[in-house]
A and B are shown apart, each in its own frame.
Chain A
Amino acid sequence: MSYENSVMFTDRAYTIAEACRFCWMCRHCCPVGLRTGREINTPRAKGLIISLLKRGTAYDRDIARAMYECTLCGACSNDCVTGYEPPVYIREARTQALVDELVPPEVMAVIKHAAETGNIYGEEKPCYVGTSSEADVLVYIGDTAACRTPDLIRSFFSVLSKLDVPFRTLSDEPTSGADLYDLIGDVDEVRTACKKLAERIRKTGVRTVVCLNPNDAAMLARRYEDFSIPLPAKVRTATSFVADLLKESSVSVTSQPLRVTYHDNVRLSRELGETDPARDILAALGVELHEMFLHGKLAHDCGSAVFHAYAPDLCALTAAGRWEEAARTPVRTLVTASPEDYLVLSAQTPEGYEVKDLFAIVDEALA
């Protein structure tokens, strides 16, 4: 760690910020920058500010607020030819804001919810039971699906049952730590949450964990390794798991006469490099797919659940931006493969359009 002028960032964060402060190349990807038009909402400007903190500028509430005006979607990292990752310094700036008590109140309220209840909604998380307590497959449901989009859970469970896959769930499912990690970065509280979930998974003895939420999948598959938290099971995304099942299964599928566009979840596409399985599923179901001009790893983020929780107005802008792109295709149905995207895009659905969950379509096709 470096320590200068009361502001603490890792050397890696400073190195990236120093590289980004005079580089404009990725601003066209930033969903928040594009929708707000504010210069501070560009990776360059945020990097510049971090570099200036090192040079004596005081970290204040305005700067802290700017650091939260970012969905951490990784479009900037994906664009960078050199391989720099602006989310690294943005997350650390959030940690610093917490340390310096500069976190905006609306963000602090969400952090408190997470601290008190384990999820950003500040609610008791409902329990969902699998088909077999001895199953070798564990479905990790995640906070957003459990608290906000229960229909998606029912569809996914139904799909697994129809494909004869026994599965179990965790009672009192602990959080993955993904939302808290986005809110306050790599701090003890986050690692403690991660260790708790890892231990619960270890005790089950399962060999496969299927994450319904790509954000959780990215957390388990990538961050736990970064944190040196061993996970004794293979992490699968729900999409890749179901895509493989459909390829291998002899269960009959009813072709779905749908014309849709598909929104790539940014953690799924950019962090996990997964863009094909959802498309393979749609193709297997006979669904006619019309791609948005920017899709796959280039898809603009619609906003995340945590962003939606603390910055609903900004999230409405990013979601509306994605809807505008969807509306330029000839279809009126937008398919998502993430509870968070479903939540965020449903809240901004334009008249005459609909959001459909990928697994709900699979469920119908398997009926």
Chain B
Amino acid sequence: MQSFMFNMVLSELEDACGRDNVSISTADKLSYGVDYFWIGRKWADAGRPLPTADFIVRPGSPEAVSKVLKIANYYKIPVQTWGGGSGSQGAALPMAGGILLDTKRMNKLIAVDEMSRTITAETGMIFQTLEWYAGERGYSIQHIPSCLTCGTVGGALAHRGIGIMSTKYGKIDDQCLSLEVVLPNGDIINTLPVPKHAAGPDLMQMFIGSEGTLGVITKATFKLFELPETRKFYSFLFKTFGDGILAGRDILQKMKPSILRLYDEAETVSIIKKIVGVEKHGSFMNLALEGNAEIVAIEEKMLREIIARYDAFDTGEEYGEKWYKNRVTFFYPGHIMDIPQMFGTMDTVATYDRVEPIYYAMKHAVEDNFEGVRFIAHCSHWYEWGTMIYDRFIMDHPPEDPDEAVRLHNEIWNAGVRAALENGGVINDHHGVGLKLSRLMKEQYGPAMQVFEALKKGLDPNGIMNPYKLGL
């Protein structure tokens, strides 16, 4: 872009957002050059140039977002939306340059409706802050992911996030009731005030998971739950991962634990041993029952009957509680995988009949084809019909050369995700698609992809919104 024209655009953006809220400084640009995506980290570690935007804008209202999108559409400048930047799929990275739109100034609490048990906020708010607002009144949204403290409300919605309490309280797409969205053309729209209706297809769900490709979500309303009267922890050790899956299925037919996590043998003897201290071999399950004390007591009795059927060993309340207390310890430096290791989470979700076949197919695809790569997994979000599988690969000594490492990284991902797809799984469960999996979207959806493509073309004919992401 010519310097003269650059300054013309800069002036317009400053007019839209305020001079203090538009930046072209190196420091600002670099801070948006890495998210949680492994390739971005590797690039930074190798001292390679990071993807940078030309303009950083920080609008403070949906109206300012609208102005920015109108400017971007006129000049046909790409717009990438950034919340907390803690996504693992590269969805927020400014791969196409242009404008990076940071939502974090839009961080106001709008309403707590105790009558309806709802809370409404702007989407640039860090999710932990929203949870604190709920907590002050004795409620919880019960969206408690490991990125609670680092992701924004909008970020959780953009990639269809999930928290550790999801088995009882649902995913973000279950917890969200309505949205305000700024469309690529600058129009500000609202979805219906309630999520359940027969007024046509679900408008809200079209934007949840759209990863900034169809607009910018600026406001959201969520359910509030009263804090549980009691919360009880349990832990068990199953002889096999398969026994644990069947037990999980049976549990879901009778009750909804808030936490239900089942680890394969490899993760039990590695991460669970390190953080929680379980020394025994087998497949570790930790869970929590919560709510009314009398109901929990009945659920506990039924839970123990199910566990007994699978001859699992009761490792006690202590380990269940210890896992809960350390639930974020796993993600701090020194506890989580980091460069120079190569790693990735290939989470998928399937019906119960497909869970074990997918697990073994992915394990073989990764471990048998790539030397020095190990595979661990756990199931942490359960439904009446199936569960997700949080599959991870880890390579302790990947190639040092970043070009070679990136090629290998993508080959491992292709192999793992294709194994999931071939066996009845999906491309991702709760981290989203982003840049990382964009190339595999058409393989997942086949001709159905044209529905998304038509939506994209209709709403964003200039293709300015988050290019290269979500296969769009």
Contact = CB atoms under 8 A, between A and B. Distances in A.
Interface string A7-21: 000000000000111
Contacts of A49: 27, 30-31
Given A27-B126, A62-B25, A81-B328, A51 B44 contact: yes
A48 B28 CA distance: 11
B84 interface: yes
A56 interface: yes
B2 to A, nearest CB: 23
Interface stretch (B232-240, B295-303, B334-342): B334-342
Interface stretch (A31-39, A160-168, A348-356): A31-39
A28 B128 contact: yes
Interface string A52-83: 10011100101101100000000000011110
A38 B58 CA distance: 8
B320 interface: no
B208 to A, nearest CB: 22
Nearest to A57: B30
A231 interface: no
Contacts of A19: 333-334
Interface residues of A, number: 39
Interface string B11-29: 0000000000000011110
A26 B126 CA distance: 11
A303 B126 CA distance: 20
Interface stretch (B99-107, B173-181, B216-224): B99-107
Interface in B315-350: 328-329, 331-335, 338-339
> What is the interface residue range for chain B against chain A?
35 or more
B30 A24 contact: no
B27 A48 contact: no
Contacts of B151: 24
A229 B44 CA distance: 40
B188 interface: no
Contacts of B370: none
A125 B58 CA distance: 42
Nearest to B87: A24
A49 B29 CA distance: 10
B27 A40 contact: yes
A51 B31 CA distance: 11
Interface in B119-161: 124, 126, 128-129, 132, 135-136, 147-151
Given A37-B58, A39-B32, A62-B26, A22 B335 contact: no
A24 B150 contact: yes
A293 B58 contact: no
A359 to B, nearest CB: 29
Contacts of B106: 37
B339 A34 contact: no
A22 B36 contact: yes
Contacts of A129: none
Contacts of B85: 24, 39
B409 interface: no
Given A56-B47, A294-B132, A66 B34 contact: no
B107 A82 contact: no
A35 to B, nearest CB: 9
A198 interface: no
B169 interface: no
Contact of A27 (B27, B46, B82, B149): B149
A25 interface: yes
Contacts of B30: 45, 48-49, 52, 57
B41 interface: yes
B89 interface: no
Contacts of A57: 26, 30
Nearest to A328: B136
Nearest to A329: B136
Nearest to A23: B333
A323 interface: no
A287 to B, nearest CB: 22
A56 to B, nearest CB: 6
Nearest to A15: B333
B86 interface: yes
Interface string B46-78: 110000000000100000000000000000000
Nearest to B132: A293
B34 A62 contact: no
Contact of B84 (A24, A56, A84): A24
Contact of B28 (A25, A39, A294): A39
Contacts of B84: 24, 27
Contacts of B328: 25, 81
B128 to A, nearest CB: 4
A38 B21 CA distance: 9
Contacts of A45: 30-31
A48 B30 CA distance: 8
A40 B41 contact: no
Contacts of A80: 332-333
Given A34-B126, A37-B107, A39-B28, A25 B332 contact: yes
Contacts of B32: 39
Nearest to B47: A55
From A24, A60, A81, A82, name the one whose CB has the most chain B CB atoms within 10 angstroms: A24
A23 B332 contact: yes
From B30, B102, B128, B338, name the one whose CB has the most chain A CB atoms within 10 angstroms: B30
A98 to B, nearest CB: 17
B124 to A, nearest CB: 6
Nearest to A27: B150
A293 B33 CA distance: 34
Interface in A76-101: 79-82, 84
A80 B128 CA distance: 16
A80 B329 CA distance: 9
Contacts of B147: 24
A328 B25 CA distance: 37
Interface string B255-273: 0000000000000000000
Given A80-B332, A293-B135, A28 B28 contact: no
B333 A63 contact: no
A37 B44 contact: no
A39 B332 CA distance: 19
B104 A20 contact: no
A20 B129 CA distance: 21
Contacts of A27: 84, 126, 149-150
Contacts of B148: 28
A22 to B, nearest CB: 5
B143 to A, nearest CB: 14
Nearest to B60: A37
Given A25-B150, A34-B129, A20 B26 contact: no
B31 A81 contact: no
B112 to A, nearest CB: 11
Contacts of B332: 23, 25, 80-82
Given A40-B28, A52-B47, 4 more contacts: A62-B25, A80-B333, A82-B334, A328-B136
18 contacts: A21-B34, A22-B34, A24-B147, A24-B151, A25-B332, A27-B126, A27-B150, A34-B107, A34-B129, A37-B106, A38-B28, A38-B58, A38-B104, A40-B27, A40-B28, A66-B28, A81-B332, A293-B136
Interface of B: 25-28, 30-34, 36, 41, 44, 46-47, 58, 82, 84-86, 102-107, 124, 126, 128-129, 132, 135-136, 147-151, 328-329, 331-335, 338-339
Interface of A: 19-29, 34, 36-40, 42, 45, 48-49, 51-52, 55-57, 60, 62-63, 65-66, 79-82, 84, 293-294, 328
Which 3 pairs between the two chains have the least Cβ-Cβ distance? A24-B150, A37-B104, A55-B47
